[in-house]
Amino acid sequence: MEIERAAIKPLDITAGREVVIDFREEAAVAAIYSDGTIASFGKEGAISQTAGKLWRSAPFPAYPIEARQLHETGTVLLRIAIGKNGNVERVQVLQSSGHRILDDAAVRAVRLWKAQPQYAGRTGTFPVHFTSRHR
């Protein structure tokens, strides 16, 4: 008979035991708004696993209401430099979405991102997609 590892044993009550829990911070890789609009990393409709592992904190860009009302969509391609402490040091728009308001929203959000410690000092390019569709 196999005993469940997490089961409480009588000795636990009197002597206690150490339990190690491994918490990992991983950022969300997509945002879905109440009106059905979506912003995501990676290819449209796909979630990039790499983006979730790279960033420990990555507030998703706000999809400006004005852009949603005008059905403005597009992909902003950003070049990002990560500093020693994991903060984003530089953000450059390599390719515009075609809408200044979406480009600005992406840049504002990315400036707040924090990378996992092992990625300090690196640079990379990241797409941020703004799409309008219903779930």
Tens-place pLDDT, residues 7-26: 777 777 777 777 776 665 55
User: For residue 65, what is the domain's CATH number?
Assistant: 3.30.2420.10
| 135 confidence band (pLDDT: 50, 70, 90) | very low
The predicted pLDDT at position 123 comes to 92
Q: How many domains is the chain partitioned into structurally? A: 1
| Residue 103 domain flag | yes
Residue 7 resides in a domain? no
Give the start-end residues of each E strand in the chain. Answer: 30-32, 37-41, 55-57, 74-82, 88-95, 114-115, 123-132
Q: Where is pLDDT greater, at 107 or 22? A: 107
More confident residue, 12 or 1: 12
Q: What pLDDT, on the 0 to 100 scale, is given for residue 5?
A: 62
Domain that holds residue 125: 25-132
Confirm whether 15 is domain-assigned.
Answer: no
Q: Is the pLDDT of residue 103 over 70?
A: yes
Contact 60, 38 (CB under 8 A): no
Residue 27 in this model has a pLDDT that exceeds 70: no
CB 127 within 8 A of CB 76: yes
- Residue with the bigger pLDDT between 114 and 4: it is 114
Distance (Å, whole) CA 46 – CA 75: 14
